[in-house]
Amino acid sequence: MKVKTKSLKVGVLAALCASILSTSAMADVKIGVINSLSGNFAAFGQRYNTGMQVALEEINANGGINGEKVALIIQDDRSEAQSALAAVESLNKQQVPLIIGSYASGITGPISKVATRQKIPLIVLGSADDSITKPGSDWVFRAKHNSTIVAKAYFDYFDNLRKNNPEIKKIAVMYGNGAWPTSMSEEGIRQAEKRGYEIVGKQAYDQGTTDFRPILNKFRTAKPDILLTSSYADDGIAIARQIKEVGLNTKVVAIDTASSMVSFIQQVGNPSENIVSAVSWSPDVKYEGTPELYERLKQKAKEDPSFYEAEGYLALTVAADALRRAKSLDRDAVRDALTKTDLKTPVTDVKFENYDGFKGQNPIKSVIIQIQNGKHVTVFPENLASQKAQLAN
């Protein structure tokens, strides 16, 4: 009988331990993440993942969400919208309180529509197409910049250059036909017309194009002072190389997105000098806590971090802040907490606003970085700059 009693006690104790472990595991606050970890956008997705991992470690080291640890349920969208939509359904069934995602605007746009129908708060990870938050949704929030913010940043920069170089007047615009490049370039064309630039060329190209010389040769004949392009990584590398090949001489070259990567400098080499890009964050930008964040991101990435890692960090930091303030993990409560966000981070200040037709958009200020002596440096706005801007010629 004693043996049976002892066995019973052991069994009860084991069941109790299992119950405690199960309860502990279930007590984790689970945040859904949809990210491009394979496919065409994997290089960007891995950087966003690095930033989120740094934020996750920081959040849990500082008490998690009101004492509960945070766990990420990460779904790979394979750089495809259809896979991303399946991921939304999966995360919805797992009853996550919110979702963070994704990189490309052509993926996040459809995600935002499904999240709105399912009433799941969505924090945009990397996408900047205006249409995601304009007209937007009560369930979609973006802490990073959008197409309009980026285009205005470029033209504020061009205007600033014109103060000392009034001969800068003519601009040519080329862009990939994806959602983000099209959105940014169309707004860029509107800004050029509004601010009195002469548009001497504008040309879209199919994603996957490798030979840009016919477009660049046409632009060379028009003799633009500024070349504004919006492209993903491989496109931008080829464009930068072929600009030199065809002898297109402009005073300003902007290759949005692609030229902001450290790998761009490594692959393009000397022709990358003086190319500029608009970003939401730069390691040398003068925000409180930026040097410390830079070191943590660099240690995790094992290389110099870009604004992609910073945006990953930002998205999860914003999510954790809202979850701490929410009255519960109910999605309505989380959404209400997001609308009241007023947060300072080493990446940017965050306050979601409804303005100029946008909803749930943080009115972040983009900065312009330029490649000088083989490194990215901040050159605009001047109050945040570490170096003075240089003309290409």
Domain boundaries for CATH 3.40.50.2300 within the chain: 24-145+286-361, 148-279+367-380
pLDDT above 70 coverage of the chain, percent? 93
- The tokens describing 28, both together, are 């984790």
According to the model, what pLDDT value does residue 179 have? 86
Mean pLDDT of the chain: 91
Cis peptide before 181 (omega within 30 of 0): no
Mean predicted confidence (pLDDT) in 169-185: 93
Q: How confident is the model over 230-288, as pLDDT tens digits?
A: 987 789 999 999 999 999 999 999 999 889 988 899 999 999 999 999 998 988 877 78
Residue 34, pLDDT above cutoff 80:
yes
**Out of 106-110, 148-152, 230-234, 362-366, which region has the weakest mean confidence (pLDDT)?**
230-234
For 6-30, letters b (16+ CB in 10 Å) and e give eeeeeeeeeeeeeeeeeeeeeebbb
Which pair of structure tokens corresponds to residue 19? 């119950």
Decide if pLDDT at 20 tops 60. Answer: no
Residue 344 has a CB neighbour count (10 Å cut-off) of 12
pLDDT on residue 288: 85
Residue range 24-145+286-361, CATH number: 3.40.50.2300
CB neighbours of residue 3 within 10 Å = 7
pLDDT of residue 393: 66
Locate tokens 């199919």: which residue?
206
Give the pLDDT score at 207.
82
User: Sheet containing 99-101: which strands, arranged edge to edge?
Assistant: 70-76, 29-35, 99-101, 122-124, 140-141
Q: Assess whether pLDDT exceeds 90 at residue 210.
A: yes
- Give the pLDDT confidence score for residue 1 in this predicted structure: 40
User: Residue 198: pLDDT band by 50, 70, 90 thresholds?
Assistant: very high
Q: Indicate whether 9 pLDDT > 50.
A: no
The Cα 290–Cα 309 span in angstroms is 13
| Distance (Å, whole) CA 152 – CA 160 | 12
Strand partners, 174: 203, 229
- What values do phi and psi take at 328, rounded to 5? -160, 180
Least confident of 20-29, 131-140, 347-356: 20-29
Query: Which CATH superfamily, name and number, covers 148-279+367-380?
Result: Response regulator (3.40.50.2300)
Does the pLDDT at position 11 exceed 70? no
Question: Tell me, what's the pLDDT at 27?
Answer: 56
What does the pLDDT look like over 77-134, one tens digit per residue? 999 999 999 999 999 999 999 999 999 999 999 999 999 999 999 999 999 999 999 9
**What pLDDT was estimated at residue 2?**
42
Encode the chain in three state secondary structure: CHHHHHHHHHHHHHHHHHHHHHHHHHHCEEEEEEECCCCCCHHHHHHHHHHHHHHHHHHHHCCCECCECEEEEEEECCCCHHHHHHHHHHHHHCCCCCEEECCCHHHHHHHHHHHHHHCCCEEECCCCCHHHCCCCCCCEEECCCCHHHHHHHHHHHHHHHHHHCCCCCEEEEEEECCHHHHHHHHHHHHHHHHCCCEEEEEEEECCCCCCCHHHHHHHHHHCCCEEEEEECHHHHHHHHHHHHHHCCCCCEEEEEEHHHCHHHHHHHCHHHCCCEEEECCCCCCCCCCHHHHHHHHHHHHCCCCCHHHHHHHHHHHHHHHHHHHCCCCCHHHHHHHHHCCCEECCCCEECCEEECCEEEECCCCCEEEEEECCEEEEEECCCCCCCCCCCCC
Distance between CA atoms of residues 377 and 275, nearest Å = 11
pLDDT digits (tens, 9 = 90+) for 341-353: 999 999 999 999 9
Question: Residue 13 — very low, low, confident or very high, per pLDDT cuts 50/70/90?
Answer: very low
